[in-house]
């Protein structure tokens, strides 16, 4: 994550103009310019019918046949570039790039929290999974006043105009953040306001940035809760859940499938709406063996069979220093031979050679405990971004 001290403005990224890719191609491959590609694992014989711009195709990082990406770090404006360097051609580049930004009712949305990462996002070739959080109110996100929605979509357009596929997780984890107080609730716990805001943003994006995919992404709850907050489906392109097992008894593939499948089946059975996992990790006191076992469960044959419309998985690769929560499976302060990184890279490189991955039967014995991490701890990443937005508003508005 960028420092709270005065951040550097983003420079203009290279344009990667391209046709809007279909899901079957775009979630499996990166399209990148040859002059910015240092990966030797490049297919130069791409089918021009499926690759109309004739850009070289670089296979994405896959685990068990599923595209895998990251929320790359909580520091540094080149986090994904560093991760991709660690991954190397033997594993492939991260398929998705999760990042966060907040809107506030009394401030225009200039997108700086995303734009500070723009070079890294564009050069990574990954799909941007932009979680834009309407903190403190819904001003500018209504049918009567869509000004904030237009600002959000204008920022998304800067990415799509640069060739980035964008999945917009607007108001992600709405059911949790209303309870926590970050999103404005009210008598109906924010249901009506969220649905109106989601539709308003979707309409604005259709007008200004039609390539943006709108993503309904609640936090883990139950199907009744997902149904309650679900936006009008004509405005939804993807659905998915953020999921962190809260105790050892829930850290297994059977429980995972039982929690995901009802939501997946109800909302994606028609075929148009797809499914993706925007965040996952272990919400336990766990070591690297446990984190890797969990990730292999999420990307396993069993999950792929149960969730056939699952496009990708994004892992929360973040170190939260204040809470001493280390979700990382790859450490940017090390290199490929650092023991922890070497262990992870071994798993990922081995998985790259196969499309089949049986789920571990559980977490390795002794690798995790039920010493609970309060759910709110993940908010530190979002809170830091919010503080950056407040502290950097004047400077950033001058830069942009």
- Distance of alpha carbon 262 from alpha carbon 357, whole angstroms: 23
DSSP of 308-361, one letter per residue? TTEEEEEEE--EETTTTEE--SS-TTS-TTSHHHHHHHHHHHHHHT-S--PPPS
Residues constituting the chain:
400
264: exposed, middle or buried (C-beta count within 10 Å: 0-12, 13-18, 19+)?
buried
- Distance of alpha carbon 324 from alpha carbon 210, whole angstroms: 41
129, 173, 184, 388: which is the annotated catalytic residue? 173
- Distance of alpha carbon 269 from alpha carbon 24, whole angstroms: 17
- Distance of alpha carbon 250 from alpha carbon 24, whole angstroms: 32
Active site residue 388: no
Helix, strand, or coil (residue 246):
coil
Active site residue 279: yes
Please give the sequence-ordered ranges of beta strands (E in DSSP) within the chain, or none if there are none: 29-31, 57-59, 62-63, 66-71, 96-103, 127-134, 166-170, 213-216, 238-239, 242-243, 274-280, 285-286, 310-316, 319-320, 325-326, 368-369
129, 151, 165, 279: which is the annotated catalytic residue? 279
Q: Which residues are catalytic?
A: 173, 279
């Amino acid at each position: 994550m960028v420092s709270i001290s005065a951040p550097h403005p983003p420079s203009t990224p290279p344009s990667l103009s391209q046709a809007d890719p279909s899901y079957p191609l775009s979630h499996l491959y990166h399209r990148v310019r040859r002059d910015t590609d240092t990966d030797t694992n490049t297919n130069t014989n791409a089918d021009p019918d499926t690759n109309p711009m004739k850009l070289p195709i670089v296979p994405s990082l896959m685990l068990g046949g599923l595209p895998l990406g990251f929320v790359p770090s909580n520091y540094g404006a080149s986090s994904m570039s560093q991760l991709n360097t660690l991954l190397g051609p033997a594993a492939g580049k991260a398929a998705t790039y999760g990042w966060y930004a907040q809107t506030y009712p009394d401030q225009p949305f200039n997108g700086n929290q995303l734009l500070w990462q723009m070079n890294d996002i564009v050069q990574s070739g990954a799909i941007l999974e932009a979680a834009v959080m309407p903190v403190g109110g819904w001003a500018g996100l209504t049918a009567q006043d869509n000004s904030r929605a237009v600002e959000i979509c204008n920022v998304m357009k800067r990415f799509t105009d640069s060739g980035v596929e964008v999945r917009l997780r607007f108001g992600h984890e709405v059911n949790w953040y209303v309870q926590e107080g970050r999103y404005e609730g009210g008598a109906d716990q924010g249901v009506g306001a969220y649905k109106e805001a989601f539709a308003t943003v979707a309409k604005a994006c259709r007008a200004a940035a039609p390539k943006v995919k709108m993503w309904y992404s609640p936090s883990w709850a139950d199907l009744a809760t997902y149904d309650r907050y679900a936006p009008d489906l004509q405005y939804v392109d993807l659905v998915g859940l953020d999921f962190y097992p809260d105790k050892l008894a829930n850290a297994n593939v059977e429980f995972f499938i039982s929690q995901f499948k009802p939501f997946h089946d109800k909302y994606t059975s028609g075929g148009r709406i797809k499914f993706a996992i925007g965040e996952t990790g272990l919400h336990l006191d766990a070591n690297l063996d446990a984190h890797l076992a969990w990730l292999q469960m999420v990307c396993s044959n069993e999950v792929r069979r149960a969730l056939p419309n699952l496009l990708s998985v994004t892992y929360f690769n973040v170190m939260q220093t204040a809470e001493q929560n280390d979700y990382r499976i790859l450490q940017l302060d090390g290199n490929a031979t650092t023991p922890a990184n070497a262990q992870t890279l071994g798993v990922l490189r081995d998985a790259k050679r196969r499309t089949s991955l049986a789920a571990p039967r559980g977490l390795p014995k002794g690798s995790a405990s039920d010493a609970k991490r309060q759910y709110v701890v993940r908010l530190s990443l979002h809170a830091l971004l919010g503080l950056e937005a407040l502290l950097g508003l004047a400077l950033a508005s001058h830069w942009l």
